[in-house]
């Protein structure tokens, strides 16, 4: 049965439910948030977003051009401007594209957010920290240009799924080292005000003799990300849980109980530590979901996530 909700981002609605899944994990999350389409009664009243594709966001010497796609609401901006959100695709650090989210950034824009989806350098051609540097540069780019879209530069969310959740968490939580001198938009803030993570790995440190935290395929991809077999120091540095701090941005975590790629314990650990530190954090474990679906809980996840964004981006 169709449902509708109202909040700072306007009225949300649509028919949700069933099994949402597929290769693009974050796609499932956003369809849960937005519904499979706009409610029919909103078609005439909601202007289509303005979409720009293939924007070069971080020109640097010796780096192949990187692009993002941007969707801006077609309706007039509310007083105080529009919140913004940057999407980080999954794909095991070795695959995926900004274009995976083409319909999703449009849907986000229909409901009042300035939404962007970026390409970042993939392994094994590029090794960490290249991916984090690209995401940081995109955050700078969004803030530098926010006034062009009536964006609220101080209300910016970062959202990722699977490997994208891991990268987003590292970017949001790790102490920042200087980017290269030729990285553009120097001086722009790289912080985020909300962090939404789906099915990511946050604790890569594995005690001797402990069961593996990830599938064998994930271990192989981690080797590709680093360009070598990870040692204890790498596993520690690449564990977002290690970098969690009391002033971290609010967290919204989603994980499938039946996830056979990244165990649900990964999200449980991050959530527990966040609560211990006093970080606002929500965890939604879906009992009948795996790594790429929402089982029977799509409606609930969508409603909770929309409420989370409303509370933490509408200030």
Query: Is 112 a domain residue?
Result: yes
- Per the model's pLDDT, the better-predicted residue between 110 and 294 turns out to be 110
Note whether 94 and 122 are within 8 A (CB): yes
Range of the domain at 280: 23-304
Closest C-alpha to 135, from 66, 217, 216: 66
Mean pLDDT of the chain: 84
Query: Is 111 a domain residue?
Result: yes
pLDDT-derived band at 305 (thresholds 50, 70, 90) equals: confident
Q: Model pTM?
A: 0.87
* Least confident among 205-209, 263-267, 274-278: 205-209
What are the CA-CA distances from residue 142 to residues 78, 84, 146, 159, 310 (Å)?
19, 8, 6, 14, 20
- pLDDT per residue over 208-244, tens digit each? 555 556 666 677 899 999 999 988 899 999 999 999 9
Residue 139 has pLDDT above 70, yes or no: yes
Number of domain units in the chain: 1
- pLDDT per residue over 157-190, tens digit each? 999 989 999 999 999 999 999 999 999 999 999 9
Residue 44 has pLDDT above 70, yes or no: no
210: Cβ–Cβ under 8 A, 6 or more apart, which residues? none
Q: Please classify residue 208 by burial: count the beta carbons closer than 10 Å to its beta carbon, then call 0-12 exposed, 13-18 middle and 19+ buried.
A: exposed
Query: Is 313 a domain residue?
Result: no
Secondary structure (DSSP) of 56-85: E----TTS---EEEEEE-SSPPPTT-EEEE
Note whether 283 and 253 are within 8 A (CB): yes
Query: Is 270 a domain residue?
Result: yes
What pLDDT is stored for residue 162 in this prediction?
Answer: 92
Query: Is 3 a domain residue?
Result: no
Query: Is 221 a domain residue?
Result: yes
Rg (CA), the chain: 18
Half-sphere exposure at residue 249, Cβ-oriented, CA atoms within 13 angstroms = 29
pLDDT-derived band at 14 (thresholds 50, 70, 90) equals: very low
Query: Is 143 a domain residue?
Result: yes
Query: Is 218 a domain residue?
Result: yes
Residue 151 has pLDDT above 50, yes or no: yes
Q: How far is it, in rounded angstroms, from Cα 117 to Cα 105?
A: 7
What pLDDT is stored for residue 100 in this prediction?
Answer: 85
* Least confident among 97-101, 134-138, 241-245: 97-101
What pLDDT is stored for residue 20 in this prediction?
Answer: 30
- Residues 35-52, mean pLDDT to the nearest whole number: 63
Residue 125 belongs to domain with CATH number: 3.40.50.1820
């Amino acid at each position: 049965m169709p449902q509708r909700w109202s909040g700072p981002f306007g009225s949300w609605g649509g028919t949700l439910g069933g099994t949402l899944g597929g290769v693009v994990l974050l796609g499932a999350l956003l369809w849960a948030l937005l519904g499979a389409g706009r409610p029919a009664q909103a078609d005439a009243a909601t202007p289509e977003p303005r979409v720009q594709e293939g924007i070069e966001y971080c020109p640097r010497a010796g780096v192949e051009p990187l692009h993002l796609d941007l969707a801006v609401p077609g309706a007039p901006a509310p007083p105080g401007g529009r919140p913004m959100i940057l999407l980080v695709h999954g794909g095991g650090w070795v695959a995926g594209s900004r274009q995976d989210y083409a319909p999703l950034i449009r849907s986000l824009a229909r409901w009042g957010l300035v939404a962007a989806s970026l390409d970042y350098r993939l392994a094994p051609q590029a090794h960490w920290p290249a991916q984090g540097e690209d995401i940081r540069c995109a955050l700078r780019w969004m803030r530098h240009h926010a006034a062009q879209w009536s964006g609220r530069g101080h209300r910016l969310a970062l959202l990722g799924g699977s490997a994208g959740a891991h990268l987003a968490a590292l970017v949001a939580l790790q102490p920042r080292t200087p980017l290269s001198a030729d990285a553009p938009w120097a001086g722009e803030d790289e912080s985020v005000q909300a962090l939404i993570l789906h099915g990511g790995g946050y604790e890569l440190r594995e005690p001797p003799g402990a069961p593996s935290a990830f599938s064998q395929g994930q271990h192989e991809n981690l080797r590709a990300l680093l360009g070598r077999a990870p040692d204890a120091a790498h596993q520690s540095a690449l564990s977002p849980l290690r970098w969690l701090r009391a002033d971290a941005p609010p967290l919204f975590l989603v994980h499938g109980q039946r996830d056979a790629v990244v165990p649900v314990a990964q999200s449980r650990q991050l959530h527990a530590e966040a609560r211990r530190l006093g970080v606002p954090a929500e965890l939604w474990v879906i009992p009948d979901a795996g790594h790429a679906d929402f089982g029977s809980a799509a409606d609930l996840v969508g409603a909770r996530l929309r409420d989370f964004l409303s509370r933490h981006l509408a200030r």
